[in-house]
Each structure stands twice: as C-alpha cells, then as structure tokens.
Structure 1
Amino acid sequence: MASQPTTTANIADSPGRRLYNGSCHCGYTRYRCLLTFPPPAVHPNVDPSITTRIRKCNCTSCHKTNFFHVRPQSSPDDFVLLAPTNPFDDPADGGLADYQCFAKFTHWFFCPKCGVRCFTFGGDSEVAEVDLGEWAGGQKEGKLTKVWRAKKEGWIEKGDTSYLSINATTLEARQEGLDLREWHEKGWIVYLDMLDEKEENKMTHHRHAFRTQTKAPPTRRPRRRRPLHPPLQPRLTPEAFNFHWALYLHKNKDTGGTKYHITGSAGKWLAAHQDTRGIFHETFLVGLFQIATITGSTACERLDKTMRQFDDGLNDLDVNCRTWLLKVLGVLAGEVDGKRVLKCDDVDALEREVMEFGNKNMESADLAMQPRPFEASKICGGV
C-alpha cells in the first residue's frame, strides 16, 4: 500500500520546502524527502545547496530506464529510505535489486517485485535511527525509526563521489507542488544532452514560450497561405555561427505545423521530421525567420516531398544539419514539378542573412527571454 500524502504539520518552516512521500508501485520501496517548489534557481550548473534540481537526461542509462531526476539540495539531510532498511541487502534478504553499468559507480536500484526504480545512488551510506518529525523540521514524534540514508561525512553534493537522485514519477500523486504540468510550463526542468560526441557536456534549459497572433475574420475563405521558417537553436551557450538548423512549415494555429530537420553527428545522421504544435516551446529557440509563403495543399505536398528526398542517403552525403538544409533550399529555389517553391536567387546570401539573425538573438535565447523574435527575409521574394 502506498504511503499517504504529507500533512501541513510535517512541512518545514522555510517557504516552499516540504516533506514528500514516495514509493514504488507495490509499496515494497518507501521513502521520504524534502524538496523546494518552486525551485529558487533553475540552471544546468546551479549551486545544489540553494535549490531543488529537476532534470531530464538523454544518456542511454537515463533514457532506457525512463528516469526523471529530482535532486535534493543536500542528499544526506533531505532523503531517507524507510523500506527496505538497506537497499544493498540481497533481494532474497529484503533488499533491492540492482543494476550497474559502465564505471559501475551508480546503483540503479529497482523493486524486485514490481520493477519500479525510485532512486539511484552512488557513494557512502549508513543505517541510522531518526525521529522523522524532527528530521522533517516539524514536531517530534517521540519515537525513533530505522532508516537508510546517504552518509553526510565526506559527502559533496556536486562531487564525483557522491550522487543521489530521486525518480520524480515515484513521488506520491496529489501532494502540493507535484503538478508535472506546472514544472513543464514554468520551465523548471533542465534538459541534459549527453549524446553529442563533440559536445559531451552540452546542457540546455527547457523554457516554455508563447506567441499570440490575432487576425480579423475574412469576408471570404482564401486559399490557405502557410509561412515557411528556418527555426534556429544554439548548440552551446552561446557561440556565434553555431546553431541547430531546421525548417518549419506552419499550417494553422490549431494543428501547428511540420518541423523538418536532421539530428546526430558525422556518419550517424537521422531524419527527425515531425509535426508539432509548439514550435515556440522548443528548447533554447533563437527565433523564426520567414523565407517563403506556401499557398495551397499541392504546394505543401511538393515541399514535403522535397524535404524528404535525401532521407534514405543522409550518411552518404557530407552534410550536417545546416548544410543539409541549405542543400534542400537550393533544390526548392529551382523548379520542383515545374514550380518554384523558394523565390531566392542566392542561397549563400540567404545563409548569411539567417546567420546574422541568429547571432543577433542568441544571447537573449541563452537568457530565455520571451517572446522569441520573428523576422522575414529581405532577400527572398513572396514572403
């Protein structure tokens, strides 16, 4: 049986700092933790002593285990495992099942009954007896409870030999502050990109952005005109001329549009085209730069076909996300099925124009300033 949500009697004195209960699905694993919502600071390299850190990481370990990180400010002080008494015991003796990989420092504990991972740990630990009421910053319960926790002596929260992370999805639902929609919409989640071989420590901060647009109702229904934009995102924080390039075809305010781009690295490129209703929600979006207006469904189908024509042979081409897009734009600037989609006579000049736009706005993207900019090309006709 899952533990009950915390009551206000157990809430610590400092604003926003509260006691939370968590467990696996079957209740075999149970824990308590102290977290602060909203986080006082949100940044990839923030001092852990001042804020709760919410993380999503795309490394193979976190991705495959679907781990949604919540990092306490001080793990030895802010996390206690109530059951089992010692996760390192053999599962047959009442402990947790364990998985380790790579350097085998981190223990990816999971329940031997239901398989849920509540937390991951690396470092020194201890079994202790504590008054849970006093530990949570509230009134004493008058009894001691045996718990397992990180050992405070020698623990460095941001060090290489100390690590504890809670799986946010194992915190009990309906506790105050645990609305995952709010975490997303208010930009409290930091995304850690650990896959790029050339940028192993690249970290980007997810921000929620919005853009409103009002139009007078037309007296008659015109042929739908769809703007075409290359959205830019900085690869690092920040570096001139270094962006992730994509092409976005906006269709309407209800369904959004289609984002065309490729992801990966040299020799490992993959087409990642996708429909999206939240282009302005993109991580670290620099802005949108309009280069064309597409009119009619036939023109949209023609564009879609052209954008996908190199997908099967990407790794036979000497391209990256920018040069691939410029190659496709070169095709669109010519005739496709007898029609010219992109009215541009100099794709190199268009590249320089987009680069100038990106360099001008990258610092505001790094600071997550809103709303993100929108500009139209002065080189391309028909915008």
Structure 2
Amino acid sequence: MSQSELKVGGLYVILLAKEEPPEPNDFHWGLYLRSDAMGGMAYHIKDRGDGYQPEHGYTSGILSSRLLVGLFRVADISLPWHPTVDRVIRTYDSSLNYPGRSTSCKFWVLNILALLIQPTDTGYQIVNCQNLPILEQEIRDWGNRMSQGKMFQHEPRPVDSSKICGLPEYRLCV
C-alpha cells in the first residue's frame, strides 16, 4: 500500500520490529492519525536511557521506516474530532516516568486506546471496541503474521483494519 492510500481520518496502531529478524510479540508500538492526503501525526514514546520521552510529530513518510511491520487501523475519526484525539493521546506525556509506574510503548498505546474507548461527554465513542484485551490480541496476532519471515523494506507495507472494532475494510477505489 502506498502512503496516499491510507485512509484520511484513520487511527492506526503502528508496529515496528525491535530487531531483525523479528521476534514474536516483540514490537515497538505507536499510533498514527492520518490527517490529510499527504500525511498525519505519528505518536510514540521512546526510552532514552534516563526514562521515556514522547516523540510526536507530523510525517508524510509513515510507511518508510525500515523495521515497519505494518499499520493496523482501529478507528475512523472525522476531522472535527482530531484535536480531541490529539489531546487524549498526549494525556500521559508529562507523567511517563513517575516512580512506581510501569511504562512501555505497548502499555502506553493500550492506555491511550482505553481512554479513546470511553464515551465522550456527548456519548461519542472514538474507538468502537468493547474489549481492550481482545483488541490487543488481535493487533499482536496480526503483527506476528505480518512479521513472519519478514524481509524489511519490501513493498507493499501491510495495512489492515480491526475486525472487532466494527470497521469496514478500506480499499482505495481508482
């Protein structure tokens, strides 16, 4: 899939292999919110040795990372909701390294998804999923399938959609 074929408004879980060849269930997790036809916001945290730091920013090259396993769509978010989603994703940025708090990139993503599953004040559910552990398993199983025998930097990069979040399959009509 090419960069231009990613669904505008799609919220994706990014999975990257931590090493080559990839180990099962051993991914770096992040989030990507496609905001326009050219790109979107990539969100993730990195361990810098002295603790985790948020690294968020606009990118037009989300599919170009060498160890990218793929992108897994968990929601479709209309443009008016993007600022709300951005705020929610940044919720833990200032508290990543509190003593006694367990943190990892996967734990961070799952905590953000748990917040996005909760209905807003108006009753809108940004991520339509009732069972976060099952969603985590769906993402992990998909990542394991996509990384088996993976030779990185090959095209097309895998992109898929959650079945349990009630998303229709997205295909670009040309």
* Smaller-chain TM-score bracket: 0.7 to 0.9
Structure 2 segments unaligned to the other structure (5+ residues): 169-174
Change over 3 Å in CA distance of 1:269–1:235 after alignment to 2: same
Q: Which of residues 206, 213, 225 is equivalent to 2:5?
A: 213
Alignment of structure 1 residues 247-326 onto 2, 5 Å: 247-254=31-38, 256-264=39-47, 268-297=51-80, 299-316=81-98, 317-326=101-110
Q: Which of residues 134, 138, 141 is equivalent to 1:349?
A: 134
Q: Deviations over 1:203-239 (max 9, x none)?
A: xxxxxx944539xxxxxxxxx9501111110001210
| Structure with the greater alpha carbon radius of gyration | 1
The structure whose RCO (Cα within 8 Å, separation 6+) is larger is: 2
Alignment of structure 1 residues 44-55 onto 2, 5 Å: none
> What letter corresponds to residue 272 of structure 1 in structure 2?
E
Aligned residues: 164
Q: Is 1:381 matched with 2:173? A: no
TM-score under structure 2 normalisation?
0.86
Q: Deviations over 1:126-151 (max 9, x none)?
A: xxxxxxxxxxxxxxxxxxxxxxxxxx
Q: Which runs of 4+ in 1 moved over 3 A?
A: 209-214, 363-367
Q: Deviations over 1:3-45 (max 9, x none)?
A: xxxxxxxxxxxxxxxxxxxxxxxxxxxxxxxxxxxxxxxxxxx
User: Which residue does 1:242 correspond to in 2?
Assistant: 26
User: Which residue does 1:29 correspond to in 2?
Assistant: none
Change over 3 Å in CA distance of 1:277–1:364 after alignment to 2: farther
Question: How high is the sequence identity, in percent, across the aligned residues?
Answer: 31
Q: Which of residues 361, 369, 373 is equivalent to 2:146?
A: 361
Paired residue secondary structure (1:315): coil
TM-score under structure 1 normalisation?
0.40
Paired residue secondary structure (1:323): helix
Paired residue secondary structure (1:273): strand
Alignment of structure 1 residues 28-47 onto 2, 5 Å: none
8 Å CA contact 2:8, 2:36 repeated in 1: no
- Tell me, in whole angstroms, the C-alpha distance in 1 between the residues paired with 2:27 and 2:155: 19
- Tell me, in whole angstroms, the C-alpha distance in 2 between the residues paired with 1:250 and 1:355: 21
What's the offset of the Cα at 1:319? 1.2
Alignment of structure 1 residues 1-383 onto 2, 5 Å: 210-213=2-5, 226-237=9-20, 238-254=22-38, 256-264=39-47, 268-297=51-80, 299-316=81-98, 317-338=101-122, 339-363=124-148, 365-382=150-167
8 Å CA contact 1:284, 1:365 repeated in 2: no
Change over 3 Å in CA distance of 1:253–1:364 after alignment to 2: farther
8 Å CA contact 2:44, 2:54 repeated in 1: yes
What's the offset of the Cα at 1:276? 0.3
Change over 3 Å in CA distance of 1:364–1:336 after alignment to 2: farther
